[in-house]
């Protein structure tokens, strides 16, 4: 039985919209941006779990909630059996060395006034105060070596702006892994790197995963890249998961109309395979006032009035496969006979 | 003989930096044919954006155009005064930028953007006539008339990009230079935008130069593709040909390092070495330190762009070429 | 799988760049930064000059600022009109004391022009010196020979008819050229006689304006720097805390600081010095209080924006404590802007200080200070213009130098404008 490293249950994060002075006085009901609106999933130990979606889907917010860089409005995050919300700030701080993050923009996530060596050493200083200065220095050099920044002494004293983008992202990896964490949340880790460097970075990530026995939460909008690294994947739309399952199943047998549209829309680097399918109408709606029921229904090619605009669908197994779940009235549950694809 | 709208000959652009001169565009010659969508690809620092700006003569200090001829529709733009260029820019040649939020004035309504552009280039048009034209335009682009009164921040990313295009179209533009137009857009919106570009090209007889680092986008929409590396053009040709049978080793590597969602997952190709240092570029062919098929001559002489199969040209010593020096 | 080491190419030029000395980088900056480079360079030289003057005033000032070294209201560059001894160039006589002879010896003859008060001065001086010599066996009792004109007097010296003559220095200098064998000696009253002794003139009580100017630099810079440093030391930490913590602390502090800031500067400084009394320290305190809100606001604003940066979130994610985040992540990124403001601030503080002393507040009245000199010279604009011109110029130059340097540095350090 594979154990779950992270369990997310009914996670919600609603950001209040600033109200005008008059509105707050006259009791106009407050509005919220529903960034994450009821998300449930597990991350199994040792896997690469992909969280895919467009901007506004809430995937980055979920990442921050899992790390408790944000506090949830509702729901819970359980890390290795511990409910994160129940921890005091100090307890949370000491737990942090087991869960690290790699952000999208390496230049922005490195302190411009700290050398690379200092930046990587800092987590060691915080979480392993028993190590001597020399020990720490040695570990940092070793880490730099492992992420391919050779010769490590050369890079130790450099500042972030003195090295290339691809190298910076390696530094961010190094910083994230120096405390030997269990979980790494990677939020668009290669999006800002050059195309020819991305493959190298992905390779590095997988290598480090094996070496350090890591688990990844891989957040991305690039479904093509996700295909290369993820074991399981969840697709998010407007704060909710619409489909989740093993990579093969989701990509070859996508059930949710949004997933199909997304997969279809990805530009393929082959002119012989240009897209022919129609795209969903309209644009991503305002997260302050999401559509009722299934929040994709206004754009959905198979939406049925009376069903899809009423009740919110839940994640249910596809064809009895408990691994592959989809949240769509017409694909699962009682309304399956209305599914035009059947 | 194809009808050439814009012929660039021997363009050289340099930037002065604290540590020396950077040769951002190195002797690039390119023909943009009327009615085509030409994709210009390369990674960051290859010079494609600089090229795009240079052909609009929008290079400012510390950059400068050292030499070159810019034959647009029969006239050499290098001989134009700044005033003449101003009437060309936004008029015959329009530009669409990457981040529409920063290229639209946040305190001007959409309609004002359009009418101002129209009336700057055609002063005789009255305000009312300009508004009418603006309304027509945005409808063609799928934007409802009412949205004209909105401010840029009230529109979504995709809509803003469409407003940018409509600005380009407002004045019967012949050539649209799109610099990373979809990089900030989501995948579905990007797909719609590319569809729109194709439609507009057909309806308005536009010519589009699409500058991007996204190979997939080029494959989706371009007729021909040109690949740049370290300021030089390394390959150019019909899009089917270049993708199916790339000639230059860099193109081969680039295409193989891009994930393809349609294919079964295979190992992505990892390109050796690091991107070139433009302050002291490698001798000879700039790709030679990273090239898996490098030969002795590559470090010594710079290869010249030459046609190797009909419709495809490349600058590589593998194809038995005459070099810059003729030897 | 290791990233290749930077190719030897790259490594070379990186090392080259590191080898390039500071001076070369500095000069290379000239082309890159253009006018701003010149601005900073020139003003830095000026600031350095002023600092040296302030540190070592005695090296540059010919006189002590309090010494009434010369005649009153002497115009710049003019020679003071003093009675001076002239004698043959070949003789060793240069001062009155050289005319001493043992008692009983023939008395030396000294010529004077008839009707000019020099005779009286000569008598007085000789008498005074003679009294000193009583009991030593030497005496100074020159025999006075009177002539009708200056020319005759000088001719007598040249002929040897008289041993020496005492004449007014200014008149002598006009005709000195005609009598090449005659040389000027010392003034008999002890004041400086040669031209240019007081390059910027003297004030109403005979103090050398130039020396006062140089000594005034010390006070001005002392006040400017001290006040700015105190304001910085107090304002920066408060700004950091307020920006980082937010909440009530921020609101209370901001209200206090905004109220202080809203006061017209000079008025606030006046009220504080009026309460505290005149002394250099009180002036520094008053001006420091004035500028604390400036540093507070700037640092608070910067802290608020740096707080939102991704690397702060990254620091939180690795488990850094708030104090660490403030110290290692926020402070170093906020400080550069402060350093630049400091320069302009010093200029402002000097100006305020001069303003205070001009109004007669703050500094004890015997201090050598530009503001005080300005105040005293006010009444003599028409008759002795140099009394206020030079202190005014000095204030202007110092303020200009610091301001230019600060503004130039601001342009250079602003990275957004300098995208490569």
Q: Which is nearest to B181 in space by CA: B37, B68, B6, B292? A: B37
Mark which of C187, C220, C252 sits at the end of a domain: C187
Tell me the pLDDT tens digit for each residue of B243-258: 999 999 999 998 888 8
B102 shares contact with chain C (CB less than 8 Å)? no
B264 shares contact with chain A (CB less than 8 Å)? no
**pLDDT on residue C418:** 41
Band of residue B148 on the pLDDT scale cut at 50, 70, 90: confident
**pLDDT on residue C1:** 33
Mark which of C131, C156, C187 sits at the end of a domain: C187
Residue B123 to residues A164, B89, B119, Cα–Cα distance (Å): 48, 15, 5
The answer to whether A101 contacts C314, with C-beta atoms less than 8 Å apart, is yes
The answer to whether C10 contacts B19, with C-beta atoms less than 8 Å apart, is no
* CA-based nearest distance A40→chain C, Å: 23
The answer to whether C6 contacts B282, with C-beta atoms less than 8 Å apart, is no
In-domain check, residue C22: no
If one compares A25 and C404, the residue with the highest pLDDT of the two is C404
C299/C351 same-domain check: yes
Select from C2, C313, C319 the Cβ nearest to the Cβ of A127. C319
Q: Which is nearest to B229 in space by CA: B270, B275, B271? A: B275
C314/C408 same-domain check: yes
Domains in chain C, number = 2
pLDDT at B38 over 80: yes
Residue C407 to residues C235, C249, C400, Cα–Cα distance (Å): 21, 32, 10
The answer to whether C318 contacts A123, with C-beta atoms less than 8 Å apart, is yes
Q: Where are the alpha helices (DSSP H) in chain A?
A: 21-25, 59-66, 89-95, 116-127, 133-146, 152-156, 165-177, 195-212, 223-229, 247-252, 257-265
The answer to whether B273 contacts C31, with C-beta atoms less than 8 Å apart, is no
The answer to whether A269 contacts B270, with C-beta atoms less than 8 Å apart, is no
How far apart CA C282 and CA C223 sit, in angstroms, is 10
C254/C379 same-domain check: yes
CATH number reported for the structural domain that contains residue C94 in this entry: 3.40.190.10
The answer to whether B274 contacts C9, with C-beta atoms less than 8 Å apart, is no
Chain B touching partners, 3 or more CB pairs below 8 A: A, C
What contacts B138, CB < 8 A, 6 or more positions away? B110, B114, B144, B145, B147, B148, B162, B163, B166
How far apart CA B148 and CA B143 sit, in angstroms, is 8
- Chain A residues with CB under 8 Å of B220 CB are 267-268, 271, 274-275
* CA-based nearest distance C256→chain B, Å: 35
In-domain check, residue C270: yes
Chain A touching partners, 3 or more CB pairs below 8 A: B, C
Select from A194, A267, A271 the Cβ nearest to the Cβ of B43. A194
The answer to whether C32 contacts B282, with C-beta atoms less than 8 Å apart, is no
Looking at chain C from residue 7 to 46, which residues have their Cβ under 8 Å from any Cβ of chain B? 7, 9-10, 12-13, 17, 28-29, 31-32
**pLDDT on residue B321:** 58
Contact status, residue A201 vs residue A163, Cβ threshold 8 Å:
no
pLDDT at B266 over 50: yes
C141/C208 same-domain check: no
The answer to whether B280 contacts C9, with C-beta atoms less than 8 Å apart, is yes
- Chain C residues with CB under 8 Å of A93 CB are 319, 321
- Chain C residues with CB under 8 Å of A172 CB are 314
Enclosing domain of residue C404:
43-61+203-418
- Range scoring the smallest mean pLDDT among A11-25, B301-315, C344-358: A11-25
Residue C304, classified by CB atoms within 10 Å of its CB into exposed (0-12), middle (13-18) or buried (19+), is: middle
**Secondary structure percentages of chain C, helix, strand, coil, to 5:** 65, 10, 30
In-domain check, residue C275: yes
The answer to whether B289 contacts C7, with C-beta atoms less than 8 Å apart, is yes
B17-29 residues labelled b (16+ CB within 10 A) or e (exposed): eebeebbbbbbbe
The answer to whether A109 contacts C332, with C-beta atoms less than 8 Å apart, is no
Contact status, residue C145 vs residue C112, Cβ threshold 8 Å:
yes
The answer to whether B191 contacts A223, with C-beta atoms less than 8 Å apart, is no
* Count of H-run helices and E-run strands, chain C: 16, 7
pLDDT at B61 over 70: yes
Q: Per DSSP, what are the bridge partners of residue B89?
A: B93
Looking at chain B from residue 61 to 100, which residues have their Cβ under 8 Å from any Cβ of chain C? 62
The answer to whether A103 contacts C309, with C-beta atoms less than 8 Å apart, is no
- Range scoring the smallest mean pLDDT among B61-70, B198-207, C207-216, C404-413: C404-413
The CB density around residue B265, as the number of other CB atoms within 10 Å, is 14
- Chain B residues with CB under 8 Å of A195 CB are 43, 213, 215, 254, 257-258
B18 shares contact with chain C (CB less than 8 Å)? yes
C107/C232 same-domain check: no
Select from A123, A166, A204 the Cβ nearest to the Cβ of C319. A123
Residue keyed to tokens 């070496």: A211
Phi, psi of B143, deg, nearest 5: -110, 135
Query: Mean pLDDT, chain B, as a whole number?
Result: 86
* DSSP annotation of B108: S
Chain C touching partners, 3 or more CB pairs below 8 A: A, B
Transcribe A209-276 into DSSP letters. Answer: HHHHT-EEEEEES-HHHHHHH-SEEEEEETTEEEEEEEHHHHHHS--SHHHHHHHHHSPPS-TTS---
Phi, psi of C110, deg, nearest 5: -125, 130
Band of residue A243 on the pLDDT scale cut at 50, 70, 90: very high
Contact status, residue A169 vs residue A201, Cβ threshold 8 Å:
yes
Query: Which residue is closest to C330 within chain A, CA to CA?
Result: A111
In-domain check, residue C175: yes
Residue B137 to residues A6, B157, C108, C399, Cα–Cα distance (Å): 52, 18, 113, 58
Residue A78 to residues A10, A61, A67, A82, Cα–Cα distance (Å): 12, 16, 10, 5
- Chain C residues with CB under 8 Å of A200 CB are 1, 3
Q: Per DSSP, what are the bridge partners of residue C182?
A: C88
ipTM of the complex: 0.82
Mean pLDDT of A243-265: 91
If one compares A161 and C300, the residue with the highest pLDDT of the two is C300
C227/C352 same-domain check: yes
C387/C263 same-domain check: yes
**pLDDT on residue C414:** 62
A248 shares contact with chain B (CB less than 8 Å)? no
Mean pLDDT of A13-36: 82
- Range scoring the smallest mean pLDDT among A220-224, B47-51, B139-143, B197-201: B139-143
Q: What's the gap between Cα C324 and its chain centre? A: 43
Band of residue A131 on the pLDDT scale cut at 50, 70, 90: confident
C259/C392 same-domain check: yes
C96/C229 same-domain check: no
Mean pLDDT of A218-224: 91
In-domain check, residue C346: yes
**pLDDT on residue C23:** 56
- Range scoring the smallest mean pLDDT among B35-49, B61-75, B232-246, C27-41: C27-41
CATH number reported for the structural domain that contains residue C220 in this entry: 1.10.3720.10
Walk along chain C (420 residues) and give the pLDDT tens digit of each residue: 333 344 444 455 555 555 555 555 566 566 556 667 777 888 888 888 888 888 888 888 777 777 776 777 777 777 667 777 777 777 777 777 777 777 777 888 888 888 777 777 777 777 887 887 777 777 777 888 888 888 888 888 888 788 888 777 777 777 777 777 777 777 666 555 444 567 788 888 878 888 888 888 888 899 999 999 999 999 999 999 999 988 888 999 999 999 998 988 888 888 888 888 888 888 899 889 989 999 999 999 999 999 888 899 888 888 888 888 888 889 888 888 887 788 888 998 998 888 888 888 878 887 888 888 888 888 888 888 888 888 889 899 999 998 888 887 777 666 543 443
The domains located in chain A, with CATH, are 4-338 (3.40.50.300)
pLDDT at B47 over 80: yes
In-domain check, residue C87: yes
Q: Per DSSP, what are the bridge partners of residue B312?
A: B237, B309
In-domain check, residue C110: yes
C227/C360 same-domain check: yes
C280/C308 same-domain check: yes
Query: Mean pLDDT, chain A, as a whole number?
Result: 88
Tell me the pLDDT tens digit for each residue of A290-341: 888 898 988 888 888 888 888 888 888 888 888 999 998 888 766 766 666 6
In-domain check, residue C336: yes
C270/C382 same-domain check: yes
Residue B146, classified by CB atoms within 10 Å of its CB into exposed (0-12), middle (13-18) or buried (19+), is: exposed
How far apart CA C216 and CA C65 sit, in angstroms, is 9
B277 shares contact with chain C (CB less than 8 Å)? yes
Mark which of C154, C187, C220 sits at the end of a domain: C187
How far apart CA A107 and CA A163 sit, in angstroms, is 10
């Amino acid at each position: 039985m594979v154990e779950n490293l992270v369990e997310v249950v009914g996670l919600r994060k609603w950001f209040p919209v600033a109200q005008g002075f008059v509105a707050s006085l006259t009791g106009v009901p407050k509005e919220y941006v529903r960034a994450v609106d009821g998300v449930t999933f597990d991350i199994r130990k040792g896997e690469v779990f992909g969280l895919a979606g467009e901007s506004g889907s809430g995937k980055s917010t979920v990442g921050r909630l899992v790390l408790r860089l944000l506090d949830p409005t509702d729901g819970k995050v359980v890390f290795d059996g511990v409910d994160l919300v129940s921890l005091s700030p100090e307890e949370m701080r000491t737990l942090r060395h087991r869960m690290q993050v790699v952000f999208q923009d390496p230049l922005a996530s490195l302190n411009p006034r700290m050398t690379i060596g200092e930046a990587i050493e800092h987590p060691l200083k915080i979480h392993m105060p028993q190590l001597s200065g020399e020990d720490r220095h040695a570990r940092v050099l070793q880490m730099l070596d492992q992420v391919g920044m050779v010769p490590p002494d050369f890079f130790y004293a450099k500042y972030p702006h003195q090295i290339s983008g691809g190298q910076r992202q390696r530094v961010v990896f190094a910083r994230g892994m120096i405390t030997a964490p269990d979980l790494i949340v990677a939020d668009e880790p290669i999006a800002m790197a050059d195309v020819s460097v991305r493959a190298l970075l992905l390779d590095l990530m997988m290598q480090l995963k094996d070496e350090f026995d890591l688990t990844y939460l891989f957040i991305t909008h690039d479904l093509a890249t996700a295909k290369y690294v993820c074991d399981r994947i969840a697709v998010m739309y407007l704060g909710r998961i619409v489909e989740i399952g093993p990579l093969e199943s989701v990509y070859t047998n996508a059930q949710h109309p949004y997933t199909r549209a997304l997969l279809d829309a990805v530009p393929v680097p082959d002119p012989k395979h240009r897209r022919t399918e129609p795209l969903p109408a309209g644009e991503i709606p305002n997260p302050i006032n999401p559509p009722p029921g299934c929040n994709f229904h206004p754009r959905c090619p198979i939406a049925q009035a009376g069903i899809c605009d009423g009740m919110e669908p839940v994640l249910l197994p596809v064809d009895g496969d408990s691994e592959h779940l989809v949240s769509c009235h017409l694909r699962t549950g009682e309304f399956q006979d209305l599914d035009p694809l059947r | 003989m194809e009808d050439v709208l814009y012929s660039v000959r021997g363009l050289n652009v340099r930037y002065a930096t604290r540590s020396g001169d950077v040769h951002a565009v190195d002797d690039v010659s390119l023909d943009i044919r009327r009615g085509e969508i030409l994709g210009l690809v390369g990674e960051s620092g290859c010079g494609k954006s600089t090229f795009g700006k240079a052909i609009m003569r929008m290079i400012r200090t510390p950059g400068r155009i050292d030499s070159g001829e810019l034959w647009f529709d029969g006239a050499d733009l290098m001989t134009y005064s700044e005033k003449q260029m101003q009437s060309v820019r936004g008029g015959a040649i329009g530009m669409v930028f990457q981040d529409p939020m920063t290229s639209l004035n946040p305190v001007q309504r959409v309609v004002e953007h359009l009418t101002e552009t129209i009336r700057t280039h055609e002063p005789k048009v009255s305000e009312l006539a300009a508004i009418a034209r603006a309304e027509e335009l945005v409808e063609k682009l799928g934007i409802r008339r009412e949205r004209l009164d909105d401010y840029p921040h009230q529109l979504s990313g995709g809509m803003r990009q469409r407003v940018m295009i409509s600005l380009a179209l407002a004045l019967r533009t012949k050539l649209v230079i799109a610099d990373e137009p979809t990089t900030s857009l989501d995948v579905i919106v990007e797909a719609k935008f590319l569809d729109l570009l194709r439609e507009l090209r057909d309806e308005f007889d536009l010519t589009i130069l699409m500058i991007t680092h996204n190979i997939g986008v080029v494959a989706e929409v371009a007729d021909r593709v040109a690949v740049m590396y370290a300021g030089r053009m390394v390959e150019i040709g019909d899009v089917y040909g270049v993708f199916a049978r790339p000639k230059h080793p860099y193109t081969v590597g680039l295409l193989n390092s891009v994930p393809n969602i349609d294919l079964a997952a295979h190992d992505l190709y990892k390109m050796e070495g690091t991107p070139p240092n433009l302050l002291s570029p490698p001798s000879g062919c700039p790709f030679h330190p990273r090239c898996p098929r490098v030969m002795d001559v590559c470090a010594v002489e710079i290869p010249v762009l030459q046609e190797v199969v009909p419709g495809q040209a490349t600058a590589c010593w593998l194809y038995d070429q005459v070099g810059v020096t003729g030897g | 799988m290791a990233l290749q080491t930077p190719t030897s190419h790259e490594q070379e030029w990186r090392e080259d760049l590191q080898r390039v000395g500071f001076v070369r980088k500095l000069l290379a900056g000239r082309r890159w930064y253009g006018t701003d480079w010149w601005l900073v360079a020139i003003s830095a030289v000026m600031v350095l000059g002023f600092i040296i003057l302030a540190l070592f005033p005695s090296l540059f000032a010919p006189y002590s600022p309090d010494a009434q070294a010369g005649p009153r209201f002497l115009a710049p560059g003019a020679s003071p009109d003093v009675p001076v001894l002239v004698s043959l160039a070949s003789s060793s006589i240069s001062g009155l004391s050289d005319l001493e002879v043992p008692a009983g010896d023939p008395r030396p003859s000294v010529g004077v022009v008839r009707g000019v008060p020099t005779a009286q001065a000569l008598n007085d001086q000789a008498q005074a010196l003679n009294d000193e010599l009583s009991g030593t066996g030497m005496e100074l009792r020159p025999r006075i020979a009177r002539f009708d004109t200056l020319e005759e007097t000088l001719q007598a010296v040249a002929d040897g008819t008289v041993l020496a003559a005492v004449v007014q220095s200014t008149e002598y200098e006009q005709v000195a050229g005609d009598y090449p064998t005659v040389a000027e000696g010392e003034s008999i009253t002890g004041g400086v006689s040669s031209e240019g002794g007081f390059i910027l003139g003297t004030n109403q009580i005979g103090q050398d304006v130039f020396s006062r100017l140089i000594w005034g630099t010390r006070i001005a810079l002392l006040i400017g720097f001290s006040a700015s440093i105190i304001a910085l030391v107090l304002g920066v930490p408060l700004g950091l805390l307020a920006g980082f913590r937010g909440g009530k602390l921020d609101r209370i502090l901001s209200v206090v600081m905004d109220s202080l800031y809203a006061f017209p500067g000079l008025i606030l400084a006046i009220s504080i010095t009026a309460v505290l009394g005149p002394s250099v320290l009180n002036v520094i305190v008053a001006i420091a209080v004035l500028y604390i809100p400036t540093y507070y606001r700037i640092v608070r604003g910067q802290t608020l924006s740096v707080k939102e940066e991704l690397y702060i979130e990254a620091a939180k994610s690795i488990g850094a404590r708030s104090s660490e985040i403030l110290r290692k992540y926020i402070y170093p990124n906020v400080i550069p802007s402060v350093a630049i403001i400091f320069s302009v601030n010093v200029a402002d503080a000097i100006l305020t200080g001069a303003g205070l002393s001009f109004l007669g507040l703050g500094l004890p009245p015997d201090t050598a200070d530009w503001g005080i000199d300005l105040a005293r010279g006010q009444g003599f604009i028409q008759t002795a213009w140099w009394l206020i011109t030079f202190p005014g110029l000095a204030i202007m130059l110092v303020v200009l130098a610091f301001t230019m340097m600060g503004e130039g540095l601001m342009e250079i350090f602003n990275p957004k404008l300098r995208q490569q």
